[in-house]
Chains A and B, each alone.
Chain A
Amino acid sequence: MLTQRRSKDSPLGRIMILLGTIVLLVWVGLPFYWLVITSLKPRTELFLTPPTWFPRNPEWGRYIEIWSFLPLARYMLNSIIVTVLTVLLSLFLTSTAAYALSRFEFRGKTLFLGMLLFTQLVPGVITVIPLYFVLYSLGLLNNYFGLVIAYSTGAIPFATLMLRSYFKSAYPVELEESALIDGCTRFGAFVRICLPLSRPGLVAVATMNSINAWKEFMFSSIIMTKGQYRTLAVGLRSMVGEFGLSYIGEFMTASVVACLPILIAFLFMQKSMVEGLSSGAVKG
């Protein structure tokens, strides 16, 4: 691990670093700042030109009213159900496949890896129209499971390739071999040795998949069309679809509520996620 020492920087270098940091903070931070203050501005203050940079009369009550203004609790519940199920199903699908790919040589392995790479590269919008028909014929439109299997399948390529390289390097394979000699089955070695010892990698995959499921919009907008099945992203969007930007204050309040759970989860998990992500992603 390398970090360059600060003491070596020239004055010019220091100024550039400082400038870069400020630009980064403002560029990333301003939209978030505006999201939060708009969520607090009362109607009379929202539509002012020039706008106020600090809300004069923050309306904290909106964070309570918003729950009755739109079915936010319902959307949130839908998103939680879909996210949790997606994480579980995709962990099952990807860890089993990754184990097979990391431990065995078998016919068709290269073909399967090629298939994974190919599906990783196909834009979602190409599959979404025919997938609509497939889910329709399976009776899985406006059904949690329909969206969950779509998300889990979408997660397979990247997560499998990442876990594959993780399983290869997480611990010495001899551990499994001695367990096999002691009479453990192959599957037993996978469940009792591989999975527990690869926990950081699995956490990374789970975090990434949960963030992706929480924020996804396109598939959800087509699979979950009925009001009571809408996920947060689609529910929020429908609010702007119906009213335009005239309810922007309420929209921003609901948005902050929608972002909080995933931001908190991210802050807890980010260290392991970033490490796992980079090791898998950089290796391809």
Chain B
Amino acid sequence: MTKRKKGFLGLTGRQREALFPYIMLSPALVAVLVLSFYPIFLGLRLSFYDYTLLYQSRPFIGWQNYIELMRDATFWSSLTNTLLYTVLNGVGSTIIGLGVALLLNRESRIRGFLRSFSLFPWVIPSVVFSYVWMWFFQRDFSPINDLLMRLGLISEPIAFLGNLDWGIGPFTLPFLSVLVVRLWSSFPMKAVMLLAGLQSIPAELYEAARIDGATTWQQFRHVTLPMLVPVLGVILTLTLIWNFGHFDINYLMTQGGPRNATNVMAVAVYLTGFGQFRLGYAAAMGGIMLLVTSLIAIVYIQMLRKREDL
């Protein structure tokens, strides 16, 4: 134990005491400022320049990138797809996660195994499972097509990731196929969080409900669900944010294609920036994303403030 009472920069004990939290905070603060906030600021600045990596001249062009974005059909379709994926996968994976959490909350011999097993999709790299699913969704060599044909559901094998013939509006076959993979990879986290929520519900509530003669469904409806509302609120907001910026699966499986059917904003930003090297234009797309994110962030922080000691 060090016993120096004076010494450090000649400060008194009381002054050191007051400085201590700032010193402890400073490494994280510096990292966040330099590697999160400064890049966000740089990106916003970049969005007002015609910055293409291949050209020497990189003039300031004001709102021109944003004006061009408003006329860009690809941008609008990627924005629509992003919002659709965000809502569908956010809500869908939460519902699946709730189902799995209810299953995992029961006593059974394979409970421990099931719990680790259902987290596997979260553990393995998206690069790996994206290509496994891509293989599943091909026209040839695919076990999914094989199963569907054996069951007599289809007569011809389907190219799930290429076929744009069916579907209404944005809900094409490639769109839905990628959605399946997104659901597969994102339900485990929700299941874990909801399982923790389920386990924090006091057993007495169920006892009381049972004494009153409540059925399983009534217990779920009037005890479980209301008790889960706070957790569900946090999960839904987080999932909205995570889905809004999702990149991996859409990029790896289809690169946004065919004909933008699975294009989302994160993929559009990446391809514009590092595929076409139009960094200014890509930064403007990022600017729009930041705007939407900030709106969700304000709601989220307000929600946490009400609930907690922020």
Contact = CB atoms under 8 A, between A and B. Distances in A.
Taking residues whose C-beta sits less than 8 angstroms from the other chain, chain B's interface range is 35 or more
B1 A188 contact: yes
A44 interface: no
A44 B22 CA distance: 64
Contacts of A86: none
B309 to A, nearest CB: 10
A222 B134 CA distance: 23
A200 to B, nearest CB: 15
B245 interface: yes
Interface stretch (A55-63, A117-125, A169-177): A117-125
Contact of A123 (B122, B126, B245, B282): B245
Contact of B283 (A121, A129, A153, A237): A129
Contacts of A69: none
Interface string B283-310: 1001001100110110011001001101
B202 A2 contact: yes
Main secondary structure of the interface of B (DSSP, over half): helix
Interface string A127-161: 11111011000000000000001101100100010
Interface of B: 1-3, 16-18, 20-22, 24-25, 27-29, 31-32, 34-43, 46, 99-100, 103, 105-108, 110, 114-129, 131-136, 138, 140-143, 145-146, 149, 157, 184, 192-193, 195-203, 206, 210, 216, 231, 234, 241, 244-245, 247-248, 251-252, 265-266, 269-270, 273-274, 279, 282-283, 286, 289-290, 293-294, 296-297, 300-301, 304, 307-308, 310
A282 B28 contact: no
B286 A106 contact: no
A24 B184 contact: no
Q: Is the interface of A mostly helix, strand, loop or mixed?
A: helix
B1 A104 contact: no
Nearest to B3: A183
B273 to A, nearest CB: 5
Interface string A177-198: 0000011111110100000000
B42 A113 contact: no
A125 B266 contact: yes
A240 B301 CA distance: 41
Contacts of A245: 131, 134-135, 138
Contact of B199 (A2, A114, A117, A134): A2
A237 B2 CA distance: 52
A72 interface: no
